[in-house]
Amino acid sequence: MKTHKLPFRLAYGVLALSAGIVTHPISDWVICSIALLISLIAVIICALRTLFPHTAWLFLFFGLLSAFLFGNGRYRLSVDLLEGVENGYCTDFVQLDSRWTNTYGKYTAEVTTDDGRHWKAYSQRPDTTLEPGSVLHVSGYRSRFQAPVYPYQFDEETYYHSKGFSGKWYFDGLVLIRTQREPSLRNQIIDRIRSWPVRPATRAFYLAMITGEKGDIETEDREAFSRSGLVHILAVSGLHVGLIVAFVNGVFFFSVFRQTEWGRWMVWAISLIALWFFVYISGSSSSVLRAAIMFSAVATARALKRKAATPEAVWLSAYLLLLINPYEVYALGFQLSFAAVFSIVYGHAFVQNWIRERYGSSKKTKVLSLLSVSFWAQLGTSPITLYHFHQFPNFFLFSNVLFLPFVPILLGLGILLTLWSGWSIPPVWLFHLVDGAVNIFNYGVHWVSNLPGSVTEGIYLSKIQAWLCLSFVVVVIIAMYQRNLKAWGLGIILLSVLPFAREGKTDAYWVHHFRENTILEMEEANGVQLYMADTTLQSAFFRQTKFWRSSRGVQSVSVSYWEFQPLEEGGENDYFAVSGDSILQQFRQSSP
């Protein structure tokens, strides 16, 4: 039985580095120094392989150990700037790193203090004309990000730490010290797109596709793309980077430049300049950087007339991104990007070979290939999206086959308008053409999202279940390549364990400590009954426990006033437990 070799060499280094990051180190520069020393020893062993030909396994061991230790130390060096923030009121000088934006009714920006810490800033009525680089003297309340208290609650701490923020800062005083008058090139392009005489939805569509700014997208449009399985179109990713590279290569495809050595390197240089310029314009997110490193590695290999190993380029980009920012391993964008590309590079590549052998270069091959890419991307990312968003787009295959072929056209029109408007005013008919095309595209997306059964909601996976699902995807790919019945059997075992790995408790009551108040929650036949002394906390409490209640199948919630003696283990931190026997006893004694 024929088997296929999995290109997986660099993956070991990435996995070792990731393991070092997530094990939470206890040292910093010492571990980094040890790691570098071990790496040096590994290189020496590799150089002496001609004298000692049986040392390959020793080199692998030292290499993985150094990657693990370096991940430990690099994470600690990074986390020192992110943790240790004290809650309290303070004043300081800050530099504005981004423009003020109105997101869901709140003005937010990014600022940096002299100690190198980055902060998520909030203000009621800031000067939205200030450009990044301006220096401000601010005052306000500064606090840490909130760690999740309940299952399935948004993990604010991990999310913002993965983006390099130390904490949040609510400004109530702001004085301009020095202004930055000239906007950056990226902000100039954003302003240029926002000045287009088209519908707001069209401007928001191109701001997301070209610059990565998604704050202008209406909630209804965002939900429509998510429900139809097309939300990846709005996030600048490998799809958009690939289109840029394909466009540049297409321009020079029939060029005489490709026939000469210097011409080939000229095409390589132009491709990389265009690629990394787009990375800068789009905001340099994880998915864009991953794709840019991949395409750069593949383009360089081709310029050198060497075989381009796409799987190795994937792992190389992961390794470099984690070295730059270890917290990326916790970032949702990083996880989704690499889960999708892992499934496509390994899973789709296998199916693609079978499709070509069966159907050749026919139109059916193109349609089946597009279906395969959509299927494997969805399969790889589903465990992560289900864990975070608790819904599954049922028509993702249909919508991707229907809409993805039009994305290159829309992106090309947007880039054309952006470049044209930088030199002169484009003709009105071109704006009308672009506006109409995006309007029809959005109408189709909304139509798919509103179809009966377009999405399955209320799917809650625990962390263990998400890991089991991801492991199942890996096992399926290995089983396909190796034609191994044992691997298929392991996959079946992983699926059979899923129902027994749920998260949460099945107790009849819970005691909550929420904002220094005690709340008793009791299960009833038709829902839950809440007893609290401060009923003004009802809305905030409902928002924080929304997904946890839904995961338990709670249909209705009733609230009653009841005053409790405070818990002895109170404090500022919120928590919930089932060990509040004294609270339950108070309730039973005082109830009629």
Give the pLDDT confidence of 508-531 residue by residue, as tens digits: 677 777 777 778 887 776 678 888
- Is 319 in the same domain as 278? yes
pLDDT tens-digit series, residues 543-554: 888 887 777 777
Backbone angles phi and psi of 305, in degrees to 5: 60, 40
Lowest mean pLDDT among 8-22, 305-319, 436-450: 8-22
- Residue 141 contacts residue 188 (beta carbons within 8 Å): no
- Is 252 in the same domain as 320? yes
- Is 266 in the same domain as 281? yes
pLDDT tens-digit series, residues 131-169: 888 899 999 998 888 878 777 778 888 788 777 788 899
pLDDT above 70 coverage of the chain, percent:
77
Is 428 within a domain? yes
Q: Is the pLDDT of residue 5 over 60?
A: no
Spatial separation of the C-alpha atoms in residues 243 and 409, rounded to whole Å:
10
pLDDT band of 445, cuts 50, 70, 90: very high
- Residue 118 contacts residue 79 (beta carbons within 8 Å): no
pLDDT band of 301, cuts 50, 70, 90: confident
Higher pLDDT, 442 or 330: 442
Q: Rounded to whole angstroms, what are the CA distances from 93 to 117, 173, 176, 450?
A: 12, 12, 10, 49
Is 47 within a domain? no
Following DSSP, what letter does each residue of 73-105 receive, concatenated?
HHHHHHHTTTS-PPPEEEEEEEEE-S--EEETT
- Is 228 in the same domain as 298? yes
- Is 200 in the same domain as 259? yes
pLDDT band of 504, cuts 50, 70, 90: low
Which residues pair with residue 91 across a beta bridge? 139
**Mean pLDDT within 199-226:** 88
Is 78 within a domain? no
pLDDT band of 73, cuts 50, 70, 90: low
Q: Which amino acid is at 234?
A: L
Is 75 within a domain? no
**Mean pLDDT within 311-319:** 79
Backbone angles phi and psi of 205, in degrees to 5: -60, -45
Count of the separate structural domains present in the chain: 4
pLDDT value, residue 34:
60
Query: If we measure between CA atoms, which residue out of 9, 2, 3 comes closest to residue 309?
Result: 9
- Residue 229 contacts residue 396 (beta carbons within 8 Å): yes
- Is 175 in the same domain as 246? no
Spatial separation of the C-alpha atoms in residues 206 and 419, rounded to whole Å:
13
Is 64 within a domain? no
Q: Is the pLDDT of residue 20 over 90?
A: no
Where does residue 553 rank: exposed (0-12), middle (13-18), buried (19+ CB within 10 A)?
Answer: exposed
Name the residue range of residue 513's domain.
509-567+576-590
Q: What is the largest CA-CA distance in the chain?
A: 93
Q: Rounded to whole angstroms, what are the CA distances from 391 to 99, 331, 385, 394?
A: 33, 20, 8, 9
pTM: 0.76
- Is 326 in the same domain as 448? yes
- Is 310 in the same domain as 217? yes
pLDDT value, residue 26:
43
- Is 516 in the same domain as 434? no
- Is 429 in the same domain as 368? no
pLDDT value, residue 422:
77
Is 74 within a domain? no
**Mean pLDDT within 354-383:** 83
Spatial separation of the C-alpha atoms in residues 548 and 151, rounded to whole Å:
6
- Is 299 in the same domain as 312? yes
Q: What angle do CA 517, 150, 336 make, to 5 degrees?
A: 145
- Is 152 in the same domain as 226? no
pLDDT value, residue 6:
46
181, 215, 249 - which closes a domain: 181
pLDDT value, residue 461:
84
